[in-house]
Amino acid sequence: MNKIIGLTGFKGSGKDTVAAILKEAGYRISDDADFIRQAWDGLTCTQSPYRIDHVLKEMPHPNLGISYRRFATAYGDFADTAFPEAGSLSLAFSLAKIMQGGKICMSNIRRQSQLDLCKRFNGEVWWIERPRNPFQEEGNTHETERDYSSQADVIIPNDGTFKQLLRVVRKRI
């Protein structure tokens, strides 16, 4: 049986944490940002804390002069422009996982085209809601920071402890 869950939410909402819980439950993770991370690591010649740490993600890398967040957004914009027939290059990675079947988590839905792909294959879109999210920027209108909660099938509250989030996710699956 195929089961697809797509995770969306603002940066810092807990998508990676929920994806880790789903991975433990047997879901294969389709993270379209893998190729972006590899490009960043190649440019910085290391697995840079600038792409892992929530605060450093927003700060310019001393050797590149650009933050990981800005780099990833620009890379995604380029992929969407360069490969319009695919909707985005990342969709090809997600689609390949979906076609293999089984339980799949699209762990980082940040664009309408990704959300549409999840729904096209009867996936369930989860909006991760984190009240008082310290990383959310008011007025950020870039596509990767849009509020897709109205298109979500499920709202997953992330307003307590990890144990509470774990209970919510396990109950849903």
Q: Domain limits at 173?
A: 1-32+93-173
Of 87, 115, 130, which marks where a domain is finished? 87
Amino acid at 165: L
Are the C-beta atoms of 157 and 168 separated by less than 8 Å? yes
Same domain, 140 and 55: no
Place of tokens 């993270």: 31
Task: List, for the chain, all residue ranges whose pLDDT scores fall below the cut of 70.
Answer: 1-2, 32-34, 47-48, 50-54, 79-80, 82-99, 101, 134-137, 139-143
Rg of the chain taking only CA atoms, in angstroms: 16
111 and 76 both lie in a single domain: no
Q: In terms of domains, do 28 and 44 share one?
A: no
Strands (E), the chain: 3-8, 28-30, 103-109, 124-129, 154-157
Residue 66, token pair as written in the block: 């650009």
- For residue 77, how many other CB atoms are within 10 A of its CB? 15
**pLDDT single digits (tens) 97-107:** 666 767 888 88
Both 56 and 46 in a single domain? yes
Task: Tell me, yes or no, whether 2 and 68 share the same domain.
Answer: no
* C-beta of residue 51 within 8 angstroms of C-beta of residue 60: no
Same domain, 164 and 110: yes
Q: pLDDT value at position 171?
A: 94
Do 15 and 27 lie in a common domain? yes
What is the number of domains present in the chain?
A: 2
Please tell me whether residues 126 and 173 are part of one structural domain: yes
- Measured between alpha carbons, how far is 8 from 46 in angstroms, rounded to an integer? 28
Residues 83, 98 within the same domain: no
Single residue among 87, 102, 122 that ends a domain in this structure: 87
Per-residue pLDDT tens digits for 34-56? 677 777 777 777 766 766 666 77
CA atoms of 77 and 73, how far apart (whole Å): 6
One domain, residues 155 and 77: no
Residue with tokens 């389709």: 30
Q: Clarify whether residues 28 and 104 are in a common domain.
A: yes
User: Domain containing 28 — which CATH number?
Assistant: 3.40.50.300
Handedness of CA 86, 88, 92, 98 (dihedral sign): negative
Same domain, 170 and 106: yes
